[in-house]
Amino acid sequence: MISIFSLILSSALAAPNDAATEPDADDNKEAAGARLQFMKESAAKYDIRLNGEKKSKLNLVAEPVLRWNNPVSSVPDGSLFIWCGPDGRPELAAQVFIAAGTKDLWLHEFQSLSLDTFTVSRGGAAQWNPKKPGMELAPIEGAPPPAETAVQRLSQMRKIAADFEAADDFEGASRWELRLLPKPLKRYGNPDTELLDGALFAFVHGTDPEVFLMLEARGAPEKRRWHYGLAPMTAYALKVSYKDRPIWSTKWRKPPFDPDEPFYILQYAP
């Protein structure tokens, strides 16, 4: 039997329609501000801790790194939040948004960016506990060595990111080429560690993130190399290529979503 929750999620993940969603008549600055405040408060209610001996707490970046909508798929408003580890590296991303076709049904779409596992709780109750890392890193063959200065490394990362291409497939019915946001959502790194520098990029549909690309300069000072990692921010099928060579893909995942997996969607009830 299909649950009500599954039907709600199916609606939220429905295939895009041809017409853009018209803004509500009362969608003024005050209403938009109230929604943003609600999104920030709902994200702040999660307690997220890395698994392992120390159980380090992940820190929420209080302001969303992106405010977005997706008129093609009828999502009128959403924000992207990230939680970072003690070293400042993004470990978790979550989109908080209004379900398509509704005015007040909120969904939280989570994706692990971590090389580890963690536990997500709210009000003392476990909400999500992925059993495997959400991302794998691999060296970028042929990439130049990381540059000496932060400004030069950012230029390198932008050039490397431009060689990636991504597309998603809505319910097997239509293919959408995704657009790379040229400005990273988050920059991080520490020259005193093996993670010298890094940036979180997003491929978007409109302004809605669908794929994350992480670029990191890693390794001992004399052996540092550029690495990349990819992670989905949608349940639909995705394909990514680098310099026209396919390197990564995901299948279409349907509700109910598995809380043991690195991608998860839940209905938010205050």
**Separation CA 64–CA 39 (nearest Å):** 9
Return the SS3 of 35: helix
d(CA 137, CA 113): 10
Tokens of 143: 């990439």
143: DSSP letter: P
Phi-psi region of 7 (alpha: psi -120 to 50; beta: other; left: phi over 0): alpha
> What gap in Å lies between CA 220 and CA 252, rounded to an integer?
38
Euclidean distance between CA atoms 203 and 247, whole angstroms: 15
For the chain, list residues with pLDDT below 70: 1-27, 53-54, 72
Q: What angle is formed at CA 73 by the lines to CA 249 and CA 129, rounded to 5 degrees?
A: 50
- The residues, ordered by sequence, that sit 6+ positions from 201 with a Cβ below 8 Å of its Cβ are 157, 161, 180, 181, 184, 185, 212, 213, 214, 215
- The per-residue pLDDT for range 76-86, each reduced to its tens digit, is 789 999 999 98
C-alpha separations of 188 from 20, 196, 210 in Å: 36, 8, 21
The predicted pLDDT at position 53 comes to: 63
Q: Whole-angstrom Cα distance, residue 104 to residue 98?
A: 6
Helix (H, G, I), strand (E, B) or coil at 22: coil
In the prediction, which pLDDT does 3 show? 36
pLDDT the model gives residue 6: 41
d(CA 208, CA 68): 6
Q: Are 105 and 269 in contact (CB under 8 A)?
A: no
Return the number of other C-beta atoms located less than 10 Å from residue 225's C-beta. 15
The widest CA-to-CA distance across the chain, in whole angstroms, is 59
CB 138 within 8 A of CB 228: yes
pLDDT digits (tens, 9 = 90+) for 37-48: 999 999 999 999
The single residue listed with the structure tokens 């093996």 is 194
Task: Determine the 3-state secondary structure of 235 from DSSP.
Answer: coil
Distance CA 266, CA 45 (A): 14
